Every structure is written in C-alpha cells, then in structure tokens.
Amino acid sequence: MFSSHTRRSHCLTAGIIALTLTLVIFAGCLQNGAEPRPAVSPTQATTPLVPIRAQYVPGEIARLGAAAEQQANTSFNTIAALSPEKRTFDNTVVAFDTAMTDYTDSIYPMTLMGYVYPDPQVAADGMALEESSAVFLNDIYTRRGLYNALKGQTPRTAGESRLYNLTLRDFEKNGLKLPDERLAKVRQMNDELSGLESRFSANLNNDNTTLVFTGAELVGVPAASLSSFEKTPQGTYRVTTKYPDYVAVMKYAGPGTTRKAMYMAYNNRQAGENTALLEQAITLRQSLATELGYPTWADFKTNGRMAGNSASVMAFLSTIKEPLKEKSRAENAELLVLKKDLEPAATTLDPWDVSYLQEKLTLRKYAYDENEVKEYFPVDNTVQGVFRVYGELFGIRFEEVRDAPVWSPDVRLYRVTNLTGGATVGYLYLDLYPREGKYGHFATFPVISGRMKDGAWSVPATIIVGNFPAPQENKPGHLTMYDVETIFHEGGHAMHYLLTTVPYGTWSGFNTEWDFVETPSQTLEEWVWDPQVLTSLSGHYTNSSQKMPPELRDRVIAARDAGAGHYYSRIMANSLEDMEYHTAQGPVNVTTVSARVYAEMEIPQADGIHQPASFEHIMGGYDAGYYGYLWSKVYALEIADTFKQDGMTNQTTGMRFRQEILSQGNMQDGGVLLENFLGKAPGPEAFYKRLGIANVSGTGNKP
C-alpha cells in the first residue's frame, strides 16, 4: 500500500512532519476551544504567485539551509535569553511556534528536492539537508534553556492551552526531564538515528535496479506498458523496479520465470545496506526508549496517540488477525485452483503468481479487462475529475498556474480558491510521473504551513508525488482503479494539509496524532466506488465525453473486494512486523521476522528476499505506526457511512467534514473530532461490515 511518506525528527510526537505518505484546502472557524481564524481576504493573506523556488544549483541548498538554521537559532536564543519577568505567552510559546514554522517553511521546499530534483547533485544536497535539519531539530527540542523559558507560561484560552501542552510534551519526550548527562546521550542517539533513517531513504531514492527481458519473456504485458520500457539496441526491453513497470510485469507477464525475476529484484532492492541500517535503527530505538523511561520503542511512539500504548495496538490487531487470515486462506485456495487450470502440474501458489492470477480471476468472474477500464481514466482527465468532486464537496476551485517555475517539465501547480469570495486557500503541486532518481512510490509532502503570521494568514502549499504511467507518443497514461483510488487517498492528505484553519504552524494541517493521520485520506478513497462519482470521473481517452458504460461500471464496483483478503492481510503483516521490531529487546533479524509474520498471515513469500530493506515507512516516520492504516480505516468507514446517508456529493455534509475534521489540525484529539462529526463515539461495525466478517472485537467504541 502506497503511503504518505513522513519525514521528521523522530522523537517529536506530532509536530514538524513531512508526509508520505500523501488535493486541497481550508475553511470555517475552529471549534471546541480553539480560537477562530479571522476571515482572510486575498489581500490580507500571504498569496505569492509562486509558493516556492524550483531551481537550484549544486551547493546552493547547503548554503540556504545553513542560513535558515542561523536565523532559527537567533530566534530560539532570543526566547531562551528572556528574563523570567519579561516572559509572556506571546514572546515564548507563540514565538517558538512562529520560529519553528519559519524554519520548516524555509527547509521543506529544499528537502523536497532530495526526492524529486532531476540533477542528482542537487537531489543529494536536498537529502543532506534533510539529515542535517533532523539533527538541528533534535538539538532544539533538547535545549533546556529554551524549555525553561516556555515552561510555566499561562495560556489564556483553550487553544493556547493545547499549544502549550503539546509543545512541552515534545520537549519532554526528547528527554527534558532527564539530568544533563542523560539528556546529552539522548541527543546523540537521536542524531545518529536521523542519519540512519536519511541514508535508508536516500538509498531507495537512488536505487536504479533494472532487468532485461526479451519480448517473449514479456508476453501478455499490454502494448502501452511495453512501449514505455526502454528498448535496447539488441531489441530487448530494460525494465525498472519502479511502480508502473513492476505492476505491469507482475499482473500481465505470462511466463512465471519473468514474474519471479521481477519479484525477487523488487524485494531485494538495497538488501545489503538497508537491512543493516534498519537493524541498527531498531537497536538504537530500543536504547532511546530505555533512556526516556519507556519499556519499548512502540510504547514511546504510541504515547500521545489515540492507541496510547503498544498493548492497545496489539489488542486491536489481534481482533482482526484471524478473520483476515481466513479471507486470505480462501483467496489462496481459489487462486490455486485457477493456477491448476492454467498449469495442471502446479501444486503450490507462488508469491509472484498472486497479482497475475488475481487479474485472471477478476476477468473470469466479473467479465472485464482492466486494460479496457483503464482507457476511461487518462491521468489528466481523471485528476480534473477529482478536482470537480472535491470542489463540489468543499466549496473550492482549482486553477492551474501557467508557466510556473518547476523542477521538471511534467510538474503542475494549482492555486486553490474558495468558491465564495475567491480567497486563495492553498497551492498544490502535482509531480505524477517516474523519473530516474525520483521518489519511487506515492506521497504527499508538506511545503509551506498554513498559519497566522504577522497578523495575516500564510497560505499553505503541498505536493503529491506519484509514479503513474507517463504519456507515450501523444497517448496519455492510463490509470487502474487502484491508481484512481490512490489519487483520492493522496488527495485526502493534501486536503487535510491545505484546508487547515489552525493559527499555529506546528499543529496545523496533517500534524495530528499519527494513528489519526490516515483517516481523511482513507475516508476519501470511498468516493471512487460510488456509481455516480465513478461515472463522472470516467471519460475515454479518445473522447472524454464517452463515459464508462453503466454495466461495465457496475462490474468494476462489484469486483472492488476481489483480493481484499490479500490486501488487508498484507497491511496486517506489515503492522505486526513493525510492532514486533519495535517491542523487541535486543538485536532483531528483520528478514527472519518478516518471513515468519508473512507465513503466519498465510501470505506467500519466497526465500531469499529482503522485504524489510524497502519497507520505507518504518524508516520514514511510521515506525511503530504502520498499524495506523488499519486503525484509521475504522474511522474512515464510519465517516463514509455518514456521507452515504445524505449522498456522497452532498455539500452540506462535505462542508461539515471540512470544518469539523479537515480544518482542525491537532487542535483537538482525533477522538473528539470524530465524535463531534459522527454524533456518536466511533465503533468498528462499519469496518467489519466492509471486510465481510463478524464483529469479534468486543472493544465497543474503540478499534
């Protein structure tokens, strides 16, 4: 499952994040104690025509990053130097939020370049800044003089109390209650951990694993995919392990040997170095947790989240583990029957068979070919369709900023405005096609935070980074239904970021509890499967007015849950794998643990692979947090059920979702926001219904 990638100082609990993991906007007033943001007109707001710089030369990012750090240090030192009698809430706590957000607004656009910039030297500069900025933030949150200046201030409102409590909690989770010697040790370990995580991500970004196949070895792969592969002088095809190439081979290549070769290459990316980096990080995290007074790293990370501790996470996962295994087991049996039909001598289901056979089975059971369906979802038209859906739901408009400076010709920039009043509420970059050296999956990254600054609203900006099939010879890239769902998912993260009305940058947007952060994104996935919405999104690439025929649309929707057992069992396996790593004591063989957990979930996995080496989530902010995809799914389906009662495109409900969930950032606990919106405490019933299993949790209103 492609996620909203995160990048942040690892000991922070919710602020200063850069999502993965993951389309747009803001409105309304804060509720339940947070101060309402003043109405902002276009002239009041900070609305640059181009939100960030897009071009750099080698060495420039390092200089600019150093200048940003120097400016931030000046601000932080000013706060720490205030004598007690001169300290106020505004010149300490609010000033800290301002200085911190000024710093991240300066560096996020440059660290982003580490994931997207075509020049490898500039990209390396961006990754180096990400690593050095993590070290700098670790230092900030372990400065005792700064902590003492913030501590003891008196908030004047409920919103200020929230800001105060969360800010101090971040300092304290970085060791500010420890004596100086142990605090210095925590700082040193944090710095080392930042380096391990950054190198892990950089290795995957720079991975250029390719395989060479003959035409015969790629028989069954659609012509559109074949034409996107690099052709060698010998007439063979050079195929990368990037998302579009990998999926095309695994779903359509007839020869099992071809799929096996691709599977093994994909699951061994950076196997040597990244396996070692992950195991070092896990051991270091154990030591950090011990220094900070927690029994495990998972308990440290879940403190302050909805789950609260690792025991609650494991209890939640255990309630759905066996039902998911049953679904996966039944699907395996069905796929093996099909394999025996195709290969009478077959006795086992191999891991490289699953996607291929699932595609064959879907064609047999639901009588449609995914390649036929894809023709109704060219990338640009589908994105515009998503914009229309979000525009109707949330009262916004997307306008492309023409001729905006960008780092690659295929990047697009959109200005998002309110339909009422026309105020600019955010900027959205789309970088949707693969490039060498670019981040290889799907993610939404923060760029500029929405917040109040100098009496005006600072307009947020974010980017969706993806790897959809690129246009070929004047023919647009086409999207699978999974791809369309991915746009809605990442768009949900972007909406969460851009719709914020929180005045404080460190807690605006998707700077929320980590097991709540996937709730908006997974909620908005549900729109794809509404018949009216799906029809409106569709349009044949040769004639956009030609919608998907209703009978085909209905078969596509009916097939939605084909393979759901495998899909959710993989999320479960990754969640269990993550939690086992981060509740362990002592060295961990991550490859052995991964193989065992996948076997327990009855997911085929081959010997000789190193899946953890490319499990980027747990080295990018989701460590002891991958369970959040399942945890948030519970809430997402509850929210979607509320929409279904009034219609998925009902703007009244959409605006309420915007105001009560999307705009709120972390100014209320996720559980409070959910109960306000739902009118009741959320429960697991919609989740179990969605999976077709009985409610076996016994957990009442908690996942």
Residues designated as active site: 490
Helical residues (DSSP H) of 379-427, grouped into ranges: 379-394
Q: Please tell me the distance from the alpha carbon of residue 687 to that of residue 523, in angstroms, as a whole number.
A: 12
Q: Classify each residue of 133-157 as buried b or exposed e, where b means 16 or more C-beta atoms within 10 Å of its C-beta.
A: bbbbbbbbbbbeebbebbbebeeee
- Per the CB < 8 A criterion, the answer to whether 109 and 399 are in contact is no
CA distance 421 to 501: 16
Residue 621 corresponds to which amino acid? G
Taking alpha carbons only, the member of 510, 492, 491, 490 closest to residue 500 is 510
Distance CA 570, CA 603 (A): 7
* Integer Cα distance of 460 and 457 in angstroms: 9
Q: Could you identify the residue written with the tokens 């792969």? A: 221
Assigned token pair, 66: 């150093």
Alpha helices in 231-309 (DSSP H): 243-252, 256-266, 271-291, 297-302
Instruction: Tally the C-alpha atoms within 13 A of residue 210's C-alpha that lie toward its C-beta.
Output: 14
Within 10 A of 689 (CB to CB), how many other CB atoms are there? 13
What is the pairing mode between strands 230-231 and 451-453?
A: unpaired
Beta bridge partners of 427: 415, 461
Measure the CA–CA gap between 93 and 84, rounded to whole angstroms.
13
How would DSSP label each residue in 509-535? TT-S-TTTTTHHHHHHHGGGGSHHHHH
Q: Are 486 and 442 in contact (CB under 8 A)?
A: yes
Burial of 284 (0-12, 13-18, 19+ CB in 10 A): middle
Give the 3-state secondary structure of residue 418.
strand
Element (H, E) at 464: strand 461-465
Residue pair 461/620 in contact by the 8 Å Cβ criterion? no
In this structure, the strands spanning 424-431 and 412-418 are antiparallel
Assign 285 to helix, strand or coil.
helix
Query: Going by C-beta distance under 8 Å and a sequence separation of 6 or more, which residues neighbour residue 39?
Result: none
H or E, element range at 452? strand 451-453
Secondary structure E strands in 546-669: none
The whole-angstrom separation of Cα 145 and Cα 277 is 33
Residue 508 has φ and ψ, to the nearest 5°, of -95, 175
Say which residues have a Cβ less than 8 Å from residue 71's Cβ, sequence separation at least 6. 102, 103, 106
463 forms beta bridges with: 429, 445
Which phi and psi angles does 352 have, rounded to 5°? -80, 0
Exposed, middle or buried, 67 (CB in 10 Å: 0-12/13-18/19+)? exposed
Residue 555 backbone phi and psi in degrees, to 5: -70, -40
What is the chain's length?
703
Ramachandran class of 665: left when φ > 0, alpha when ψ lies in -120 to 50, beta otherwise: left
Which position has the token pair 């009422």?
420
Which H/E stretch holds residue 322? Answer: helix 310-342
Angle at 614 between CA 298 and CA 207, to 5 degrees: 145
